[in-house]
Amino acid sequence: MPAKGATTEMIEAPPKEPRELNAPDGVRVELVSRGFTTPRGRVEALAGMSLRADAHELVAVVGPSGCGKTTLLELICGLQAPDAGTVHAAPAALMPQRDLLLPWLSAIDNAGLALRARGASREEARRTAAPWLERFGLERFEHTRPSELSGGMRQRVSFLRTLLAGKPVLALDEPFAALDAITRQEMQGWLAHVLAGEPRTVILITHDVEEAVMLADRVVVMSPRPGRAVAEIEVTVPKPRRRTDASVVELRERALAALGADT
């Protein structure tokens, strides 16, 4: 439960600001600072954070807990404005940390929520979503409610909902953190496969360094709060990657070292 001040801040945040698109389909975050006033005083979430994602690049952001990763995503999605610095980003759709599927809607209606949000009728949204559910291996669960789906299926529906928003940028907030290890590995492979066929610019927040190295073109390592980028690691290993590849293992160790972990 967030503090009272924080809740108000979230709900009554200013309307989304039109942002310059001098980063077509990409994301530029330059020296951004952002803080919040809480009942226990001022908290600086980000201080001088920079990040760049070119079109159709997947940039993973790793960092210790509470380093402002979620704030960063909300800045990119235009849900908040920075206190200092600039954010240029093509329109971005969010995939929240918890799946946040609506319990009263079936899988297909949850997947089509972004379409309905823009005014499509239920039938139009279903027509658009149906072939995707099939591609995602969910065709038998179209009319199943989230409570009866497995964790992996719920994440797939949640991802599809974000994808169908039709935005060039996908902001994924620890999408697989709540899954068990085996399902998480499956979903990582699945995500790589989907993005190969449906290229988007992806900002992937994760605390799993291996996940970052397996999926990303670039890994940005953040410092503890107030967060800023302390290292940037290019991952040039061709996809699909294997966890056991020497180069993957080596990059993972480099990222962990940048996080300050003893390995």
Complex with another protein: residue 77 or 133, whichever CB lies closer: 77
Smallest distance, Å, CB 147 to another protein?
Answer: 5
Complex with another protein: residue 172 or 229, whichever CB lies closer: 172
Complex with another protein: residue 92 or 202, whichever CB lies closer: 92
Alpha helices, H only, the chain: 4-11, 69-76, 107-111, 113-117, 122-135, 151-163, 181-197, 209-215, 246-259
Give contact residues for another protein (rule: CB under 8 A).
2, 7, 10-11, 16, 74, 77-79, 92-94, 96-98, 100, 102-104, 113-114, 116-119, 145, 147-148, 165, 167, 171
Smallest distance, Å, CB 73 to another protein?
Answer: 10
Pairing mode of beta strands 218-222, 58-62: parallel
What does residue 66 show for φ and ψ, rounded to 5 degrees?
Answer: 70, 25
Complex with another protein: residue 125 or 215, whichever CB lies closer: 125
Smallest distance, Å, CB 190 to another protein?
Answer: 21
Complex with another protein: residue 59 or 94, whichever CB lies closer: 94
Smallest distance, Å, CB 173 to another protein?
Answer: 9
Q: Residue 166 in 3-state DSSP?
A: coil
Complex with another protein: residue 6 or 231, whichever CB lies closer: 6
Smallest distance, Å, CB 10 to another protein?
Answer: 5
Smallest distance, Å, CB 110 to another protein?
Answer: 11
Query: Which has the closest alpha carbon to 159: 122, 118, 107, 103?
Result: 107
Angle at 72 between CA 180 and CA 225, to 5 degrees: 85
Q: Which residues contact 193 (CB under 8 A, 6 or more apart)?
A: none
CA distances from 116 to 2, 38, 163, 237 (A): 29, 35, 14, 39
